[in-house]
Structure 1
Amino acid sequence: MAFDFTEAEIQRYSRHILLPEVGGTGQAALKAASVLIIGAGGLGSPAALYLAAAGVGRIGLVDDDTVELSNLQRQILHTTQAVGTPKVDSARARLEALNPEMTLETWPLRLTADNVEDLVSRYDLVCDGCDNFTTRYLVNAACVRTGRPLVSAAVQRFEGQLSTFHPARGGPCYHCLYPQTDGAAEGLSCGEAGVFGAVTGVMGTLQATEALKELLGLGTSLAGRLLMWDALSTRFTTIALQRDPTCPVCGTLKRETSDG
C-alpha cells in the first residue's frame, strides 16, 4: 500500500513506522486525525508537544489566558520571553517549531455552554487538561452529545488522575465519576494548593499516550477505568468505573440512540 508521505515525513516518523503496531497505516491515520486540547497549561503542554511530535495532522488548542512567570515551573510550552503574551500564541511558536507539518488551530476563548459543542464537534478526540470542574462538566457533556472520546487528566500537589470516557461504547462519562455540580466538588486550585511540576509532565504525557492509542486502536483502552498516580510513593493504582444509569448526562444515551 502506498502512503502519502514526503521523504521528510518518512524520516521524522521512522521510529513509529518501524513499530508493527503502527507502521505506515497507523502513521497515515494519525496524519488524518484531529485532537482538541483544552488548556495550554501544565497538562496541555506535554500533551500538545507529544501529539504534535507524533504526527497528529490537526490539533486545536483552547486557552484564553496569558503566560505568567509562575506558569513556567510546569507549563513547558512556554518560555520566559513569552511572559505576558497569550498562551495560544506562545504555544503556536513552540509547536510549529517542533513540527511545521501539522496544522495548529488556536482558540483564545473561554468555553461556555454556547460554544463548547460546536468546537468539540470539529475534532475526532478531546484531551481535557483544564483546572476546574465547571469546564470539565461542559466538555464532558459536549463529548457525550457529539460522540467524541474524551481523555481527561487532573493533577493536584503530588498526585494525578487519568481516564478515557467514551459512553457511546457503553462506558461511563466524567459526570458518572464526579456527579456533583453545585461547586462542592471543586478542590483547591494549583495557585492555592501548589503542584509538583514534574507531576503534570507525567500525567500530560500519559494523556497523550492514551489519546494516540484511541486514535490508532492500540492496546487496551483506559475507558471504564481510572488511573491514579501518587508521585511520593511512586505508586500507580487503577480502579474500575461503573456507568451511572441515572446520570443526567449519559444515562439516557442508550435509549436515545435506540429511538434514533
Structure 2
Amino acid sequence: MALSPDRLDRFARHIVIPEIGGAGQVALSEARITLVGLGGIGSPALQYLAGAGIGHITLIDDGDVELSNLQRQTIYTQRDIGHSKAVSARRWLANFDSEIVVDVRDDRIGRDNAAEILGGTHLVIDGTDNFATRLAVSDACVAIGVPLLSAAVGRFQGQIAAFAGHLDGHACYRCYVGDAFDNDDCDTCADDGMLGAMAGWAGSFAAIQAVRILLDGKSALGDPGWGKLHMLDGIKPGMRTLNIAKDPECGGCGQGTV
C-alpha cells in the first residue's frame, strides 16, 4: 500500500522519524484497533491514535455524555451532552480525519458478547472503569487471540499495561487482578475524584504504547512490552514499571477455571 500525497504530508513528522518511517506509517494506516470505553482514557487515546493515522477504529461505549465528563473527556463539548458517547466520538473522528474507517457499537460489553464484538481487530484498548467489564474483555482477547492494552486512572495515578495472554508464557489481565472482581465494580472517579490532566497523561501514554504494539516487527519502534505495568504518579511526579508474571492457574489464560 502506498500513501497518497496528502497522507504523506499529514504524517510527515512521523515518516521522518527513523524509528517509524514510511513502512511504519503504512502499517499504522492498515491497522485495526478497538477502543472499549470512550471516557477519560478513551478520549485522549482516541485523539492521538487518530492523529497517528490508524486506518480502522471501532468505538465501543454504551453511555451518554454528561456535563461532569467535560472536565477530562476531551473530545466532547456542551453540545454533546445527552447524546451517545460512541456517536459523538464518531462525529469527532469524521471532523478530524474523514479517511479513518469507523465502526460504532453502543452495546454494553460483557462475558456473553465480548468475543463476538471484539473479533477482527489487531489490538483492543480497554479504558473502562469496572473490573467485571475489564475481565470480560481480557478473557475474550485470550479466547480470540488478540492482544490487550489496559489503561486505568484515578485521582493522581494511572496504570497502563500490555497483555498477550493468548501467547505461551505471557500474562493476561486476569493474571494481574485475579478472579475476585468478576461481579463487583471498582470505585469510579465519581467516588474518588480525578485530576483531569491525569486522564490526558494516561490516555496519551496508552496511545504511545498502542503504536509500539502495532509496529512490532514493522519498524524499529515496535516493542510490545508484554506484561509490563507502567504506573504513573501525578503527585511526585514520576513513573515506575513492574513486570507481571503469568499465573499458571489463571482462569483466563492458564489451567484454572472462572
The interval holding the TM-score normalised by the smaller chain is over 0.9
Unaligned runs of 5+ in 1: 254-260
Give the Å deviation of 1:114.
Answer: 2.3
Partner of 2:238: 235
Segment drifting more, 222-231 vs 73-82: 222-231
* Runs of 4 or more consecutive aligned structure 1 residues displaced over 6 Å after TM superposition: none
- Within a 5 Å distance, the mapping from 1:24-63 to structure 2 comes to 24-63=22-61
Partner of 1:245: 248
Distance 1:182 1:14 in 2: 45
Give the Å deviation of 1:180.
Answer: 3.0
Q: Is the Cα–Cα contact under 8 Å of residues 163 and 173 in structure 2 kept in the other structure? A: yes
Partner of 2:158: 160
For residues 199-242 of structure 1, the C-alpha deviation after alignment (integer angstroms, 9 at most, x for no partner) is 01100111111111000012543312111111011021111111
Distance 1:201 1:69 in 2: 18
Q: Is the Cα–Cα contact under 8 Å of residues 178 and 185 in structure 1 kept in the other structure? A: no
Partner of 1:226: 229
Q: Is the Cα–Cα contact under 8 Å of residues 43 and 201 in structure 1 kept in the other structure? A: yes
Amino acid at match of 2:46: A
- Matching residue within 111, 125, 128 for 2:126: 128
For residues 26-63 of structure 1, the C-alpha deviation after alignment (integer angstroms, 9 at most, x for no partner) is 11111111000001100000111111111111000100
- Matching residue within 62, 65, 72 for 1:67: 65
Unaligned runs of 5+ in 2: none
- Within a 5 Å distance, the mapping from 1:139-154 to structure 2 comes to 139-154=137-152
Segment drifting more, 132-141 vs 167-176: 167-176
Distance 1:169 1:207 in 2: 24
Distance 2:49 2:182 in 1: 32
| Aligned residues: CA RMSD | 1.6
Partner of 2:5: 7
TM-score, scaled relative to structure 2: 0.93
Distance 2:120 2:188 in 1: 29
What SS class does the counterpart of residue 26 from structure 1 fall into?
A: helix
With over 3 angstroms needed to count, the CA separation of the structure-2 counterparts of 1:12 and 1:88, relative to structure 1, is same
- Within a 5 Å distance, the mapping from 1:155-194 to structure 2 comes to 155-167=153-165, 168-182=167-181, 186-194=185-193
For residues 176-213 of structure 1, the C-alpha deviation after alignment (integer angstroms, 9 at most, x for no partner) is 11003346874311111111111011001111111110
- Within a 5 Å distance, the mapping from 1:208-223 to structure 2 comes to 208-217=207-216, 218-223=221-226
Distance 1:232 1:224 in 2: 25
Distance 2:184 2:228 in 1: 20
Partner of 1:256: none
Partner of 1:109: 107
The question of 1:90 aligning with 2:88 is answered: yes
Distance 1:67 1:152 in 2: 22
Distance 1:252 1:97 in 2: 47
Q: Is the Cα–Cα contact under 8 Å of residues 131 and 181 in structure 2 kept in the other structure? A: no
What SS class does the counterpart of residue 199 from structure 1 fall into?
A: helix
- Aligned identity (percent) is 40
How many residues end up aligned between the 2 structures?
A: 251
TM-score, scaled relative to structure 1: 0.92
Amino acid at match of 2:254: G
Q: Is the Cα–Cα contact under 8 Å of residues 16 and 22 in structure 1 kept in the other structure? A: yes
Distance 1:59 1:185 in 2: 29
